[in-house]
Amino acid sequence: MSITLEQKLSILSAAAKYDVSCSSSGSNRNTPEGGFGCGAKQGICHSFTEDGRCVSLLKILLSNNCRYDCAYCANRRSNDIPRATFKVCEVVDLTIGFYERNYIEGLFLSSGVILNPDYTMEALIRVAKTLRQEHRFGGYIHLKAIPGASAELVHEAALYADRMSVNVELPSQKSLLFLAPEKNYESVFRPMNFLAERKTEYLAAPKSSRYTPRFLPAGQSTQMIVGATPDSDLDILRLASGFYRKQRLKRVYYSGYIPINEDARLPVLTSQPPLLREHRLYQADWLMRFYGFQFHEIVDEKIPNLDSRFDPKLGWALRHPEFFPVDLETADYEAILRVPGIGVKSAKMIVQGRRFTAIREEHLKKLGVALNRARYFIRFRGSLRLMNQRAVNEAVWSRQGSLFEPAGLLT
Amino acid sequence: MNFCFVYDGSFEGFLTAVFEAYRLKLPVRSFAAAARYSPNLFEEHYSIETSSEAADRVWKRIAEQGGEFIGKMIFASFLSELPDVERLIWEYLQKLFSEDGKTFALNPISAEAMPLIRITNSVRRERDRLHGFLRFQKLEEELFFAGIEPESHIIPLITPHFVRRFPQFSWIIWDINRKKGVFFDRKTVEEITIDRFHLPRFEDDFCKMWKSYHQSACIQERKNPLLQRQMLPRRYWAQLPEKN
Ligand code: SF4
């Protein structure tokens, strides 16, 4: 019995959806001469699914016919599920058909391990190469580097892709070996380091023409599953921080474990995905990337897990009363950025604007500062000096509402 | 007596009105696009004839005093078509054209700048959204059509993106409520205005597959319709095949 393209698409997109990355940012690839499609530096969201996640790329597996047996994965060998494999031309046609209608920014292609890692990597490359060379496609391509694939193939893939990712999957080598016996940290770090080094070399070389994009312009990302193993937030953030510094990753994604398989090594099927913990990790990640925080300022050996009650920025502020109040008239940008309730945009406006005008409450309101939180931590002309430990404690413990952020926001 | 300057609704027309306000030294209280203007007893209205020369001079002056950045802010906030936006821009421009206008332009938290920055940000957010939420239908080989219903007059801001991205076929982007659009013929962009426009709508195979893709990409365990509506506001749904 043959299976239709539509059926394949539904199997292989459902199989890919647990990879949370859907970002299309970081690449400014120009439209190829005689072709179509281009990058958009900020990334573009084309739709949102009912879970509120952005749809930016056509995110599919080339095949879910996987030889491996990772405990946490729906596609593992030991599961009895419908299997399918795309032909190269099918993926190419779908990508172009969707792209032309402006449904997507491009393609995110991953795959189960079909015969062996090299065979699988080659198939992914064929798709990307056909899009780039035959169709002169300039849209976004994110390819998964299959753990264990050879360096040459990983390198070739990076010539066509805007971004590549190798998923570290779990926050420690021990957890990975426990749940994914065919994988290990070596098979993750080798391609990651390799790509990071190549990218550094390419960046140093002169750019030849407007149509040759930089090597892997949108860099690398990775993902780890949160809540399937006993690893702490400290383990997770320490690892992530290393990825940002050493491998120069663009993004680390945290995926709250959703129980799909019955397995003694895993949380029971009825357990809830740890969405709040995942949310706090993203906030912490944000602090490391945009707010100048080090991971050990956010969690440490004494307090290895993020507080579920408030966001990590507020958590830091509450542990560091000596840092406050921050004087908005004189403090430097980095210090203003540490105030709960003040975000990157408003911090910049404050620093620029205070050269002309004394900062007052009405400015802060109009700049979008969450004054009900920020007020305990700042001083400005005409402000009440509310910042003392008692006021803060009161705000935190009795009038909790005002210090707590609306869901999903971090400033 | 207060004066309301009535112009043709175009940006050029508005800049001409600004030029005239300076030239005539009249106490201008408001500006209104002819299509949106209703006369009232307490002001006298004055019709402006658009002059690209006059508009050009004002535009150059904006660039001189504020640079490209300020010019873009004024254009974007103008496109919001908010009822009061001309007055806000007018108040901003008076400061910008004053003696210490160059210094004024650097201050993002002046009483005149803050509302315009806010409006500009929301217009740009809609531009960024439509870069993603606009949907083309393939009418025939190499001819595509997209209907949009934006809050602001967003077409001038999104067109460059689509010209860059889809230079290989012809397309039309049509603002359904404003009855204005652009036609791109692989070389140039032309404005079109047609009063009665027959809106095509049909589903091809890709459209069907996109709808089912959109369904299967959702993780049921994480369903959060509230978040979806926040990110993908209802007013865009009518033009999205995956929402119909
Ligand atoms: S390698 Fe592991 S995680 Fe990847 S598809 Fe196969 S079973 Fe799933």
Task: Evaluate: CB of A144 within 6 angstroms of ligand 1.
Answer: no
Closest residue on chain A to B240 (Cα):
A47
CB A229 within 8 A of CB A179: yes
**Which residues on neighbouring strands pair with residue B190, listed in sequence order?**
B183
Asked whether residue A409 carries a pLDDT value surpassing 50, the answer given is no
CB pairs under 8 A between A and B: 160
Compare A363 and A21 and report the one with higher pLDDT: A363
Question: Phi first, then psi: what are they for A399, rounded to 5°?
Answer: -105, 50
| DSSP string across chain B | -EEEEEE-SSHHHHHHHHHHHHHHT--EEEEEEGGG----TTEEEEE----HHHHHHHHHHHHHHHHHHHHHHHHHHHHT--TTHHHHHHHHHHHHTSTTHHHHHH-TTSTTHHHHHHHHHHHHHHHHHHHHH---EEEETTEEEEEE--SS--HHHHHHHHHHH-TTSEEEEEETTTTEEEEE-SS-EEEE--SS--------HHHHHHHHHHHHTS-GGG--HHHHHHHS-GGGGGG-GGG-
Top mutation candidate among A67, A72, A73, A225 for ligand 1, by most atoms within 8 Å of CB: A73
- Asked if B218's CB is within 8 angstroms of A51's CB, the reply is yes
How many angstroms separate the CA atoms of B144 and A156, rounded?
34
pLDDT along chain B (244 residues), means of 10: 88 96 84 84 85 96 95 97 94 95 93 95 96 94 92 97 96 93 95 77 88 89 87 91 88
What pLDDT digit, counting tens, does each position of A305-317 carry?
Answer: 999 988 999 999 9
Q: What is the pLDDT of residue B65?
A: 96
pLDDT range class, residue A396, cuts 50, 70, 90: low
Interface list for B 110-169 with A (CB within 8 A): 110, 114, 118, 128-129, 131-138, 144, 146, 161, 164-169
How many angstroms separate the CA atoms of A385 and B71, rounded?
40
Furthest CA-CA distance within chain A: 77
Q: A89 CA to chain B: closest CA distance, Å? A: 15
**Which residues on neighbouring strands pair with residue B107, listed in sequence order?**
none
pLDDT range class, residue A253, cuts 50, 70, 90: very high
The ranges assigned to domains in chain B are: 3-125, 134-243
How many angstroms separate the CA atoms of B146 and B241, rounded?
12
Enter the tokens of residue B213: 């893709």
pLDDT range class, residue A400, cuts 50, 70, 90: very low
CB A238 within 8 A of CB A268: no
What pLDDT digit, counting tens, does each position of A189-233 carry?
Answer: 999 999 999 998 888 877 666 555 678 999 999 999 999 999 999
Dist. CA B238 → ligand 1 center (Å): 38
Q: What is the pLDDT of residue A401?
A: 47
Interface list for B 100-119 with A (CB within 8 A): 103, 106-110, 114, 118
Within an 8 Å CB–CB cutoff, is residue A48 touching chain B? yes
How many angstroms separate the CA atoms of A122 and B31, rounded?
63
Q: What whole-number percentage of chain A has pLDDT above 90?
A: 74
Task: Evaluate: CB of A153 within 6 angstroms of ligand 1.
Answer: no
Asked whether residue A397 carries a pLDDT value surpassing 60, the answer given is no
* CA A284, chain centre distance (Å): 12
Contacts of B96 in chain A (CB under 8 A): none
Enter the tokens of residue A234: 């400290």
Least confident of A128-137, A263-272, B113-122: A263-272
pLDDT range class, residue A259, cuts 50, 70, 90: confident
Asked whether residue A407 carries a pLDDT value surpassing 50, the answer given is no
Top mutation candidate among A18, A64, A75, A188 for ligand 1, by most atoms within 8 Å of CB: A75
Sign, Cα dihedral of B76, B79, B80, B86: positive
**Residues near A380 by beta carbon (within 8 Å), at least 6 away in sequence:** A327, A328, A329, A358, A359, A360, A361, A364
| DSSP string across A248-281 | --SEEEEEE----S--TTS--TTPPP-HHHHHHH
Task: Evaluate: CB of A117 within 6 angstroms of ligand 1.
Answer: no
Q: Mean per-residue pLDDT for A374-396?
A: 68
- Ramachandran category for residue A44: left, alpha or beta (phi over 0 → left; psi -120 to 50 → alpha): beta
How many angstroms separate the CA atoms of A78 and A275, rounded?
27
Which of ligand 1's atoms lies nearest the C-alpha of A111?
A: 5
Q: Mean per-residue pLDDT for A391-402?
A: 54
Q: What is the pLDDT of residue A203?
A: 83
Q: Position A35: which residue type?
A: G
Enter the tokens of residue B74: 């004024």
Q: A31 CA to chain B: closest CA distance, Å? A: 6
Top mutation candidate among A17, A60, A70, A79 for ligand 1, by most atoms within 8 Å of CB: A70
Q: Mean per-residue pLDDT for A265-273?
A: 86
Asked whether residue A338 carries a pLDDT value surpassing 60, the answer given is yes
pLDDT range class, residue A260, cuts 50, 70, 90: confident
Q: B39 CA to chain A: closest CA distance, Å? A: 33
Interface list for A 305-364 with B (CB within 8 A): 349-350, 352-357, 359, 363
0.95 exceeded by the pTM?
no
Asked whether residue A410 carries a pLDDT value surpassing 50, the answer given is no
- Asked if B228's CB is within 8 angstroms of A50's CB, the reply is yes
Q: What is the pLDDT of residue A210?
A: 58
Contacts of B106 in chain A (CB under 8 A): 352, 355-356
Among B87, B78, B169, B72, smallest CA distance to A101 is for B169
Residues B12-43 as b or e (16 or more Cβ within 10 Å = b):
bbbbbbbbbbbeeeeebebbbbeeebeeeeee
How many angstroms separate the CA atoms of A57 and B210, rounded?
12
Q: Mean per-residue pLDDT for A268-280?
A: 88
Contacts of A349 in chain B (CB under 8 A): 108-109
Mean pLDDT score of chain A, rounded to an integer? 89
Strand residue runs (E) in A111-162: 140-144
The ranges assigned to domains in chain A are: 5-261, 312-400
Asked whether residue A384 carries a pLDDT value surpassing 80, the answer given is no
How many angstroms separate the CA atoms of A133 and A212, rounded?
13
What pLDDT digit, counting tens, does each position of A151-199 carry?
Answer: 999 999 999 999 999 999 999 999 999 999 999 999 999 999 999 999 9
Closest residue on chain B to A59 (Cα):
B217
ipTM score here? 0.93
pLDDT range class, residue A276, cuts 50, 70, 90: very high
Q: What is the pLDDT of residue A211?
A: 53
Q: What is the pLDDT of residue A20?
A: 80
- Strands B28-33, B43-47: pairing kind: unpaired
* CA B85, chain centre distance (Å): 12
Contacts of A355 in chain B (CB under 8 A): 106-107
Among A117, A109, A21, smallest CA distance to A68 is for A117
- Asked if A356's CB is within 8 angstroms of B218's CB, the reply is no
Q: Give the three-class secondary structure for A391.
A: helix
Q: What is the pLDDT of residue B202?
A: 74
Among A165, A108, A138, A155, smallest CA distance to A27 is for A138
Compare A320 and B198 and report the one with higher pLDDT: A320
CATH class of A5-261: alpha beta
